[in-house]
A and B are shown apart, each in its own frame.
Chain A
Amino acid sequence: MAKQVLSCTVNGEAVEVLVQPYVTLLDALREDMGLTGPKEGCGTGDCGACTVHVDGKVVASCLMLAMQVRGRKVRTIEGLAAADTTLHPLQDAFVRLGVPQCGFCIPGVLMAAAALLEENPRPSEEEIRYGIAGNLCRCTGYTKMVAAISEAAGTLASQRSAR
């Protein structure tokens, strides 16, 4: 089986990479593009650790074939911070509020939270919980996560009104 050329945009940059046709998007990101932020927690779409954005929407990258993102835009945790490496308000809030424990779920949670705030800038607690309900975390119990997402929403709102 020959490799195929995958052309897409990843974290804002045009990418052309050779991939086996039978690999998932998650595996292509991790093994062929060196982006090990998205994790495999289950491989069957039941845990959210592999969450990335495709064309702005959260997806389970373990359930997509790599070639299915041809011509599309992919964003991983490595693309969440600003180009000058300033942490996104979500990342900053997670650090300050002591959210990450083992850290394995965190890239997926942050991508889910980022998409939530882009779609719903002022989510209620319930909306936040449903926004990350596709992301399992075994260490934290979610309470500090919800608080950090809520705080980041406030930060983003004041950044917007400051402009």
Chain B
Amino acid sequence: MSTMKTTRDVKGVGVSIPRPDGPEKVTGRVQYVADIQAKGLLHAKLLRSPHAHAKILSIDVTAAKALPGVRAVLTAKDIPHLKKKAPTRAHAVLAIDRVVFMGQPVAAVAADELSIAEEALDLIKVEYQVLAASIDPLKAMLPGAPPVADAGTEADTSEALAHSAVAIAKSEAPAKAVNISQQARLQRGDPAKGFAESDHVLEKTYRVPMVHQGYLEAHAVLAEWDRNGLLTLWASTQGSFNTRSEVADVLGIPENRIRVIPVECGGGFGGKIRALCEPITAVLAQVTKRPVRYVMTRREELQAGMPAPQVIIKLKTGVKRDGTLMALDAETVIDSGAYSGAVLAVSAVFLGSMYKWPSFDVRGFEVLTHKPSVAAYRAPVAPQTIFAIESHMEQIARDLDLDSVEFRMRHLIQEGDPMVNGQPWQSNGAKQVLARIAEHPHWKSRKQWVAAAGKNGKRRGVGLALGGWLGGLQPTGATVRLNPDGTLAVLTGQVDIAGTNISLAQIAASAYGVDTDLVRITTGDTDVAPMTGLSAGSKTIYTVGAAVLQAAEDARRQTFEIAAAELEASIHDLELTDGKITVRGMPDKGITLATIGKKGNLYMSKTPPVLGKANPAFTQQAPGFAAQLARLEVDADTGEVTIQDFVIVQDVGKAINPLGVEGQMQGGAVQSLGIALTEGLMFDDTGRLTNPSLLDYRKLTAADLPNLETIIVEVPAPAGPFGARGVGEPPIIPAPAAIANAIQNATGARLTELPMSPERIALALVNGKH
């Protein structure tokens, strides 16, 4: 058995403790949904539309039903209370009379074997009438474009607005633009005047395609009903309570007749915050009266998952020769696929108010197209937005011969400065992070390093960028229970995706006053846990950590009250050390935690069991900023990029568990680098995905990357547990701009379209495009 060290000095917070589930993971013993065996298990497969936009004229399932081993074949008419006009993607369980993206489910099969289910799909005959499709969002925005949403459907933007946690002004829709599902406009001052007074005006359009979150475990769910009509879902999900609510709403079942058990999740990154396969799998299980398992194939994930939106940002800035900011005009178009769900507000905030623009006009549009609809992807819309503003700021600095860092620092916001909506920026470490990366030897020595490029046709460049995330908020709850042996049991409903459980244990241990070794975190399912939100938005430690902290403090107070009564002392004279509460200065007068715990569980005892509880809601966000720097070489002939060094500096408020924090920084950075260099869902103009496999949807391998250096900065968040901020999202944000800036430094070419593939780089050099 490996020995894991804990510390007794700081009681846990700030110490690098390996995750306790490590041994189960390295031995292959951890169970994911597809690993769960069930008696009489049936396997589900979905028949998916081959057209991006079509009417369904007829579906014949006779031959499929007759195949031996097939236990059910369903179409929409077999699910009576499906809403005719699906307000969200989850509601479109099976298409009723129209399909709105290629890959949309049209029929469902449950069979004894997966192979039989596949053959059954071949036997289902669907007649389609193909309709014109809206694929390019800029065309889809125009009046007369083929409509995506059912006429009269309200776009459900509640999730998007809640996630953005920024109130923004809405504006009037242009006449008859049927596919604009959300819009916003924010203004300050007189931009026209600002531009007129500028010496340098720069206008560029930045484009980022849809990208897939890339979790290695595809969506998977196992559904089973008991004889009382209670549904159990074993789900790979980032939010068991959210899944429960969505399934209840979609299928018209009361929430307390559904139990969602969050199974170990093989990656989510925002792609598993919404229900997707759970409703149809539940219906198949109900109809067949057997447990049914549905696991998406990788091809289905890429074609019909819930990716990040395509983003097109037209950005125009006006600046004086000495670098004074004058005006900013931006138009962001977010292609959300067939259903609304993008987080529009984030883009506006970071375009207009990461730097202090005295005047701006920022317009945002969410546009629907006949493509798979989006969910979130780690800092939704932020990497794309920062790609635009940080590329642009770098270009301005270059054009005006200003130092990149000084120019940014001069205009960078700090606490109290107004955001685009007038609200003040909360405490944040943007300046500290930028200052820290500027001190790095790779930045200070950049000119010499670039000049030392060998004569092998490779050109060297160094680039950096800064980005941030506002930090999510969601109400939550936690309980802390003292066991009869003096150990602690902490219960939350929070799915542990980022290794947060060990940090929560460290927080509980530190707040209560015991070693982390003595604390065990249980992640309860929706039947047993307090309500909790998504494991997303960089808010787990910030919110659930705060709840655990408060619950642990509550438990400590209860414990001390019991001890005070037992020891006939004042609560203020007591201290807790090494599992024993003693009267200060009288080490023999004490009572152990174990004794208190036992008393709370004895027959006829008058001592209550210690049960600390907290159920907070939150109002104060805690923004997290990260800066990244890349040193790279470009093969000028082939366009291939080799990243030689990569540095991530991030303000985490307080690193509860530095080991875990580093892992988040490095993982987010590699996703960011993938967006920068190799990733993109490529649709042709009929809406067909042309790269539906991991061969052509390129995620970076270990051979494509150097070691990623991490530097933790701590600017405490006023309301964070021990000052902690969320850490998950900031690291995915800066790399595309940092890489673009480094490529420009190396080659002179300014690329504004992602990914910056070897083809784009090589042809930019061949064609002299700057």
Interface residue ranges, A against B (CB under 8 Å) = 20, 22-23, 30, 34-44, 46-47, 49, 76-78, 80-81, 86-87, 90-92, 94-107, 110, 125, 128-130, 132-147
Distance from B276 Cβ to chain A, minimum over Cβ atoms (Å)? 18
Chain B residue nearest in CB terms to A89: B2
Bound-state Cα–Cα, A35 to B670, Å: 31
Chain A residues with Cβ below 8 Å from B705 are 129, 141-143
With A100-B25, A103-B266, A141-B670 given, is the CB distance from A146 to B702 under 8 Å? Answer: yes
Bound-state Cα–Cα, A104 to B416, Å: 43
Q: List 11 A-B contacts (CB under 8 A).
A: A39-B216, A77-B28, A86-B1, A98-B499, A104-B32, A104-B267, A128-B702, A129-B705, A140-B663, A143-B707, A144-B663
Chain A residues with Cβ below 8 Å from B699 are 136, 138
Chain B 684-721 per-residue mask, 1 if CB under 8 angstroms from chain A, else 0: 00000000011100010111010110000000000000
- B58 contacts the other chain (Cβ, under 8 Å)? no
Contact A138 B667 (CB under 8 A): yes
- B662 contacts the other chain (Cβ, under 8 Å)? yes
> Is the contact region of chain A dominated by helix, strand, or loop, or is it mixed?
loop
- B432 contacts the other chain (Cβ, under 8 Å)? no
Q: Which of B16, B29, B34, B693 contacts A42 (CB 8 A)?
A: B693
- B750 contacts the other chain (Cβ, under 8 Å)? no
- B269 contacts the other chain (Cβ, under 8 Å)? yes
Contact B693 A91 (CB under 8 A): no
Task: Count CB-based A-B contacts (< 8 Å).
Answer: 184
B residues 1-42 in Cβ contact with A at 8 Å: 1-2, 4, 16, 18-19, 21-32, 34-35, 37
Given contacts A98-B660, A147-B707, 18 further A-B contacts (CB under 8 A): A38-B28, A41-B217, A44-B298, A44-B695, A46-B298, A86-B1, A87-B2, A87-B26, A90-B26, A95-B2, A97-B659, A102-B497, A104-B215, A106-B28, A136-B216, A140-B667, A145-B702, A146-B707
Bound-state Cα–Cα, A90 to B26, Å: 9
Bound-state Cα–Cα, A107 to B320, Å: 57
Chain A residues with Cβ below 8 Å from B16 are 98
Q: Which of A20, A30, A87, A98 contacts B27 (CB 8 A)?
A: A87
Bound-state Cα–Cα, A146 to B705, Å: 11
Bound-state Cα–Cα, A94 to B26, Å: 7
Contact B214 A103 (CB under 8 A): no
Contact B703 A130 (CB under 8 A): yes
Distance from A17 Cβ to chain B, minimum over Cβ atoms (Å)? 15
Chain B CB within 10 Å — which of A38, A125, A137, A142 has the most? A142
Chain A residue nearest in CB terms to B658: A98
Interface size on B, residues (CB 8 A): 60
Contact A36 B22 (CB under 8 A): no
Contact B35 A22 (CB under 8 A): no
Bound-state Cα–Cα, A139 to B499, Å: 11
Distance from A133 Cβ to chain B, minimum over Cβ atoms (Å)? 4
Bound-state Cα–Cα, A77 to B35, Å: 14
Chain A residues with Cβ below 8 Å from B26 are 77, 87, 90-91, 94-95, 100, 106, 110
Contact B694 A138 (CB under 8 A): no
Q: Which of A30, A102, A129, A130 contacts B266 (CB 8 A)?
A: A102
Bound-state Cα–Cα, A24 to B16, Å: 41
- B666 contacts the other chain (Cβ, under 8 Å)? yes
Contact B693 A46 (CB under 8 A): yes
With A42-B693, A77-B27 given, is the CB distance from A138 to B216 under 8 Å? Answer: yes
Cβ-closest 3 pairs across A and B: A37-B28, A104-B266, A141-B666
Distance from B67 Cβ to chain A, minimum over Cβ atoms (Å)? 14
With A36-B28, A98-B663 given, is the CB distance from A138 to B267 under 8 Å? Answer: yes
Distance from A2 Cβ to chain B, minimum over Cβ atoms (Å)? 14
Distance from B490 Cβ to chain A, minimum over Cβ atoms (Å)? 21
Chain A residues with Cβ below 8 Å from B478 are none
With A98-B18, A143-B708 given, is the CB distance from A78 to B667 under 8 Å? Answer: no
Contact B694 A46 (CB under 8 A): yes
Q: Which of A30, A129, A137, A147 contacts B703 (CB 8 A)?
A: A129
With A104-B217, A141-B666, A144-B666 given, is the CB distance from A42 to B694 under 8 Å? Answer: yes
Contact A44 B693 (CB under 8 A): yes
Q: Which of B2, B18, B30, B115 contacts A20 (CB 8 A)?
A: B115
Distance from A83 Cβ to chain B, minimum over Cβ atoms (Å)? 13
Chain A residue nearest in CB terms to B16: A98
- B498 contacts the other chain (Cβ, under 8 Å)? yes
Chain A residues with Cβ below 8 Å from B29 are 37
- B645 contacts the other chain (Cβ, under 8 Å)? no
- B638 contacts the other chain (Cβ, under 8 Å)? no
Bound-state Cα–Cα, A3 to B292, Å: 23
Chain B residues with Cβ below 8 Å from A39 are 32, 34, 216-217, 266
- B607 contacts the other chain (Cβ, under 8 Å)? no
Chain B residue nearest in CB terms to A149: B702
Bound-state Cα–Cα, A139 to B671, Å: 8
Chain B 654-681 per-residue mask, 1 if CB under 8 angstroms from chain A, else 0: 0000011011001111110000000000
Chain A residues with Cβ below 8 Å from B216 are 39, 41, 47, 49, 102, 104-105, 136-138
Chain B residue nearest in CB terms to A139: B667
Contact A133 B2 (CB under 8 A): no
Distance from A135 Cβ to chain B, minimum over Cβ atoms (Å)? 7
Bound-state Cα–Cα, A99 to B22, Å: 8
Bound-state Cα–Cα, A40 to B335, Å: 31
Chain B residue nearest in CB terms to A111: B28
Bound-state Cα–Cα, A129 to B706, Å: 9
Chain A CB within 10 Å — which of B25, B214, B497, B666 has the most? B25
With A105-B216, A106-B25 given, is the CB distance from A133 to B266 under 8 Å? Answer: no
Chain B 79-119 per-residue mask, 1 if CB under 8 angstroms from chain A, else 0: 00000000000000000000000000000000001010000
Q: Which of B21, B30, B269, B666 contacts A140 (CB 8 A)?
A: B666
Chain B 165-180 per-residue mask, 1 if CB under 8 angstroms from chain A, else 0: 0000000000000000
Contact B4 A129 (CB under 8 A): no
Contact A100 B667 (CB under 8 A): no
Chain A residues with Cβ below 8 Å from B34 are 30, 36, 39-40
Q: Which of B115, B663, B702 contacts A22 (CB 8 A)?
A: B115
- B129 contacts the other chain (Cβ, under 8 Å)? no
Contact B694 A95 (CB under 8 A): no
Chain B CB within 10 Å — which of A44, A101, A134 has the most? A101
Chain B residues with Cβ below 8 Å from A91 are 2, 23, 26-27
Distance from B118 Cβ to chain A, minimum over Cβ atoms (Å)? 10
Contact B667 A103 (CB under 8 A): no
Contact A98 B659 (CB under 8 A): yes
Chain B CB within 10 Å — which of A102, A104, A130, A132 has the most? A102
Chain B residues with Cβ below 8 Å from A147 are 707
- B273 contacts the other chain (Cβ, under 8 Å)? no
Chain A CB within 10 Å — which of B21, B26, B668, B693 has the most? B26
Chain A residues with Cβ below 8 Å from B342 are none
- B265 contacts the other chain (Cβ, under 8 Å)? yes
Chain B 256-300 per-residue mask, 1 if CB under 8 angstroms from chain A, else 0: 000000001111010000000000000000000000000101100
Bound-state Cα–Cα, A41 to B34, Å: 11
Chain B residues with Cβ below 8 Å from A110 are 26
Contact A101 B22 (CB under 8 A): no
Chain B CB within 10 Å — which of A38, A49, A92 has the most? A92
Chain A CB within 10 Å — which of B16, B35, B266 has the most? B266
With A37-B28, A44-B695, A101-B498 given, is the CB distance from A144 to B662 under 8 Å? Answer: yes
Chain A residues with Cβ below 8 Å from B702 are 128-130, 132-133, 135, 137, 142, 145-146
Chain B residues with Cβ below 8 Å from A92 are 2
Chain B residues with Cβ below 8 Å from A98 are 16, 18-19, 22, 499, 659-660, 662-663
Distance from B484 Cβ to chain A, minimum over Cβ atoms (Å)? 30
Distance from B26 Cβ to chain A, minimum over Cβ atoms (Å)? 4
Contact A95 B18 (CB under 8 A): yes
Chain A residues with Cβ below 8 Å from B498 are 101
Chain A residue nearest in CB terms to B699: A136
Contact B267 A139 (CB under 8 A): yes
Chain A residues with Cβ below 8 Å from B213 are 138
Bound-state Cα–Cα, A70 to B218, Å: 30
